[in-house]
Structure 1
Amino acid sequence: MPAFEPVLLARVNKPNSAALEGYRADGGYETLKKALGMSPAEVTDLVKNSGLRGRGGAGFPTGLKWTFLPKDHPGPVYLCINADESEPGTFNNRILMEYDPHQLIEGIAIACYAIKSNRAYLYLRYEYGKSYRVLEKAIQECYAAGILGDNVLGQGFQLDIVLHRGAGAYICGEETGLIESLEGKRAWPRIKPPFPAIEGLFRKPTIVNNVETLCCVTHIVNRGIEWFKSIGIPPESGNPRDAGSYGPKLYTVAGHVNNPGCFELPMGVTARELIDVHAGGVWKGRKAKAVVPGGISMGFFSADELDTPLDFAGPGKRGCLGLGTAAVVVVDDQTSMVDVLYNCCRFFSHESCGQCTPCREGTAWMTKILERIRAGHGRLEDLDLLMEVASSMGIIPGTTICGLSDGAAWPVKNALTKFRPEFEEYIKSGRKSVDPVHYAH
């Protein structure tokens, strides 16, 4: 792949990159001024025709989502920015917020203008203390400079941004769970329809977009559709369900690598290149046994699937749920997949909101089965039982309101399909990964 010039991360290594003065010196908010000289419909069409897809996990076309708002609604219309970033292994939004917050604020302002919204709610996970402080200061700078408030850049557009800290729950990353939390309620996802674009925050039309998605909006308006589409992967020929994977993407790499970090690359880089070239390879001279392509809810690649492109279509061809947040987690060949899967199941069991019985009971059941296996009391039929439970929960079989249970089930399905001999050997050998006293407790 030819050398790629970072766009989203272009400013993160500059001195005082979070300050308004530095951002404006690099041309900051000139794109917002350009957008305000267009009509909202023109901005929406620009984003729609660029092929930008949401970077938060689902990959839904951003501009198309904006068009779902009711036409000529009396208002108010709201924009909610999903900065919860609770998918394990994910930290690309954190980098953007802490080192270049004005890039995000400019994207928010452009999106609000496009959807005719005068108020945006930036929903931030509570654990991101530095992000909160940086964003709070940046927002105050914008109010003082006339970039936010009653007369944005003197163009007659009014916009307020409300910075809201969540309570540290995974389920708040689901858009209707986020909206419920913003309203001061328990973050139980809503049954859809109605979708947020019709009835969202405070029962008003609402668009929910991810941080990285909105940062891309700024560059699309600035550089144009052709530039954005020149990066990434076009739709697969003959596949009407593939909308393409265009633009730059932030990939985070964690786990058993020599150089973990956040890397900006064109959509479609392979997992192997990302790990070996950019993340310095697997640590301690070992090899990769399994790789999570985009947060643990997406499932696993096996070692022979690492040449898969990390775009919106690639992971699905390897039995994974999708690209997700593009948070790659590497598991080396000396790590037990039984322990890895147990950690995944324990996490989702803890984070299930409990509203849907298949998710509440299924995640807990899978965790208990893996606890029994790790305590040396596993049975071979437990593996079939795990697969049966995993196949009976989630939106995809139509048993739950939101996708948390799909995310909980997918690692189980993947691990048992791709690494079953390791699970069988573990059970047959009677190995113990936990203290029996702890297990009994």
Structure 2
Amino acid sequence: MTRVFISRDMASVALGADAVAEAFAQAGCEVVRTGSRGLFAIEPLVEVETGAERIAYGPVGPGDVEAVLNGSHANCIGPIEEHPFFSGQQRFTFARCGMIDPLSMADYAANGGWKGLDAADALSPQEVVEAVKVSGLRGRGGAGFPTGIKWQTVLDTPADEKFVVCNADEGDSGTFADRMLMEGDPFHLIEGMAIASYAVGARHGYIYVRSEYPFAVETMREAIARSVDRIAPFTLEVRVGAGSYVCGEETSLLESIEGKRGEVRVKPPLPAIEGLWDKPTVINNVLSLSAVPFILAEGPQAYADVGFGRSRGTMPIQIAGNVKNGGLYEVGFGLTLGELVNQIGGGTASGRPVRAVQVGGPLGAYFPPSMFHLPFDYEAFAEAGGLIGHAGITVFDDTVDMAKMARFAMEFCAVESCGKCTPCRIGSTRGTELIDRIVAKAPRTAGTVETLPQIRNARIAARTHDEEIELLRDLCDTMKHGSLCALGGFTPYPVLSALDHFPEDFGSTPALTETAE
């Protein structure tokens, strides 16, 4: 019987993978449902087992069964590892995704699973923490805080109970790595959490998943049920969020798990000292915890040897938006932004020139092509006024209106704010109104000014276009430094970067900048 491998990843299913799988099953094939390989332009992807290798075809439709099985299909890729999108990747975290049945314990073990946990069990908790420190692993969710330091704090804090919490509330636009891993290799995340629990002395853990990920929730719950004996005495459960973006912030997430309204806590105390139910708590996201098994299995130096500057190891980069090759690309830090967008991403899907890319989700900065020389690195992006965040890259062509994108950032913050702090709650609303006024007052042709909306406050109506922009910058400074969490604190990144790099969309004269080669 011919064996074929077809993804059951949510994105693949949305593109018709279920119908393709049913067609191959009806043709008498043994169908193995896997995770996605990560390039959505070739989904639904079918891999046919032929001896020691698999031959890939994609995209494939339900009517293509005969052509695939006799090898005549026009979309024959060959071994998937030879495809240009995959041949340059360094898959530490996503090595098994797309290869195995996600819920097969046998498949997981046969492909290197549980080696990290076994290695950790042979060490003391402090030695495990030291290994994570030596690896240089930094949090893959936002600020890039060293993971080993966080674990050390929890280990050193005395308590009768400790917890490990996985932040899988992947709410950033253009990001999907957490979902892909939970759906395609769930035991990998479970193994990472089990290692963390041993390292800090926790007995129970939670995976907090956003409600929009039903496939991930179902897969994780089934994987936990199947791995109970393997990870004992550590126990795990899945908690499903209610759709609030701010619950991706670690303290709001803890409030939600405790059954409270998702509001940001004031820090200190840090969650590592007083976290879930006021107990010391490790909170890491999916990609951080899933990097740990490789570090323990292969040794921390093998991980630290990959990367750039202080950014060590690999990063699963998610390329989305107006781009030809949308998908997940895992590689060591250091590739330039231009290489990621133009070579790996293939440029825009529309065929028009790239005008801007946003890195780091809806609160990330916008970068023009003149900055495509930037290496993908925490420090380089911070110096350039941006952040890597969850490593989502969203591409826009030259039809984008950057004033509208800046307004969207303010409006998004206003809608998603938990309301606890004034700079975020009120500042974002005033910011939306302010951008509307800036666009309305912008000089147009022949020195005319677009008719303003009715403004009852004469002082506001009298402000000039340039004065409104100065006020917007001042508001952004207040939000950046006065907000309790990153929602209000990071909203200025897209607004200020749009103002700085695309002033013409706000009615200002562009500054002369040197174009990078």
Fold shared per TM-score above 0.5: yes
Aligned twin of 2:392: 327
Question: How many angstroms apart in 2 are the aligned matches of 1:279 and 1:258?
Answer: 6
TM-superposed CA distance for 1:14, in Å, is 1.5
Matched, 1:423 2:506: yes
Matched, 1:401 2:484: yes
Aligned length in residues = 403
Aligned twin of 2:81: none
Aligned twin of 1:289: 355
TM-superposed CA distance for 1:377, in Å, is 4.9
Of 229, 235, 242 in structure 2, the residue corresponding to residue 167 of structure 1 is 242
Aligned twin of 1:273: 339
Paired residues of 1:18 and 1:98 also in contact (CA < 8 A):
no
In structure 2, give the amino acid aligned to 1:391: D
Corresponding residue SS for 2:206: strand
Paired residues of 2:103 and 2:222 also in contact (CA < 8 A):
no
Aligned twin of 1:342: 407
Instruction: Mark the CA change 1:176 to 1:377 in structure 2 (over 3 Å): closer, same or farther.
Output: farther
Aligned twin of 2:101: 16
TM-superposed CA distance for 1:15, in Å, is 4.3
TM-superposed CA distance for 1:137, in Å, is 0.8
Of 310, 314, 330 in structure 1, the residue corresponding to residue 376 of structure 2 is 310
**With structure 2 as the length reference, what TM-score do the two structures score?**
0.75
Question: How many angstroms apart in 2 are the aligned matches of 1:66 and 1:7?
Answer: 21
Instruction: Mark the CA change 1:112 to 1:198 in structure 2 (over 3 Å): closer, same or farther.
Output: same
Instruction: Mark the CA change 1:366 to 1:47 in structure 2 (over 3 Å): closer, same or farther.
Output: same
Of 196, 207, 210 in structure 2, the residue corresponding to residue 122 of structure 1 is 207
**With structure 1 as the length reference, what TM-score do the two structures score?**
0.87
Q: Flag structure 2 segments of 5+ consecutive residues without an equivalent.
A: 1-86, 441-449, 453-463, 510-517
Question: How many angstroms apart in 2 are the aligned matches of 1:340 and 1:401?
Answer: 24
TM-superposed CA distance for 1:73, in Å, is 1.8
Of 264, 274, 282 in structure 1, the residue corresponding to residue 330 of structure 2 is 264
Instruction: Mark the CA change 1:72 to 1:296 in structure 2 (over 3 Å): closer, same or farther.
Output: closer
TM-superposed CA distance for 1:363, in Å, is 0.5
Of 312, 321, 324 in structure 2, the residue corresponding to residue 246 of structure 1 is 312
After superposing the two structures, state which structure 1 stretch, 295-304 or 11-20, moved more. 11-20
Aligned twin of 1:382: 468
Q: Deviations over 1:102-150 (max 9, x none)?
A: 111100101110011010111111111111011011111112xx113xx
Question: How many angstroms apart in 1 are the aligned matches of 2:205 and 2:255?
Answer: 15
Question: How many angstroms apart in 2 are the aligned matches of 1:422 and 1:31?
Answer: 51
Paired residues of 2:413 and 2:424 also in contact (CA < 8 A):
no
Question: How many angstroms apart in 2 are the aligned matches of 1:15 and 1:224?
Answer: 24
Aligned twin of 2:190: 105
Of 247, 254, 258 in structure 2, the residue corresponding to residue 183 of structure 1 is 258
Instruction: Mark the CA change 1:206 to 1:377 in structure 2 (over 3 Å): closer, same or farther.
Output: farther
After superposing the two structures, state which structure 1 stretch, 205-214 or 11-20, moved more. 11-20
After superposing the two structures, state which structure 1 stretch, 114-123 or 6-15, moved more. 6-15
In structure 1, give the amino acid aligned to 2:267: K
TM-superposed CA distance for 1:406, in Å, is 1.6
Corresponding residue SS for 2:195: helix
Question: How many angstroms apart in 2 are the aligned matches of 1:43 and 1:175?
Answer: 24
Of 282, 293, 297 in structure 2, the residue corresponding to residue 222 of structure 1 is 297
Corresponding residue SS for 1:9: coil
Higher relative contact order (CA 8 A, sep 6+): 1
Instruction: Mark the CA change 1:346 to 1:392 in structure 2 (over 3 Å): closer, same or farther.
Output: same
Corresponding residue SS for 2:188: helix
Corresponding residue SS for 1:385: helix
Question: How many angstroms apart in 1 are the aligned matches of 2:356 and 2:399?
Answer: 11
Question: How many angstroms apart in 2 are the aligned matches of 1:344 and 1:25?
Answer: 46
Instruction: Mark the CA change 1:20 to 1:374 in structure 2 (over 3 Å): closer, same or farther.
Output: farther
Structure label with greater radius of gyration: 2
Aligned twin of 1:57: 142
Of all paired residues, the percent bearing the same amino acid is 38
Matched, 1:192 2:192: no
Question: How many angstroms apart in 2 are the aligned matches of 1:122 and 1:61?
Answer: 21
Paired residues of 1:35 and 1:43 also in contact (CA < 8 A):
yes
Paired residues of 1:76 and 1:117 also in contact (CA < 8 A):
yes
In structure 1, give the amino acid aligned to 2:184: Y
Instruction: Mark the CA change 1:400 to 1:339 in structure 2 (over 3 Å): closer, same or farther.
Output: closer
Instruction: Mark the CA change 1:401 to 1:7 in structure 2 (over 3 Å): closer, same or farther.
Output: same
Aligned twin of 1:412: 495
Question: How many angstroms apart in 2 are the aligned matches of 1:337 and 1:137?
Answer: 44
In structure 2, give the amino acid aligned to 1:24: A
TM-superposed CA distance for 1:94, in Å, is 1.0
Aligned twin of 2:69: none
Q: Deviations over 1:50-104 (max 9, x none)?
A: 1110001110000011111263624201111110111222211111111011111
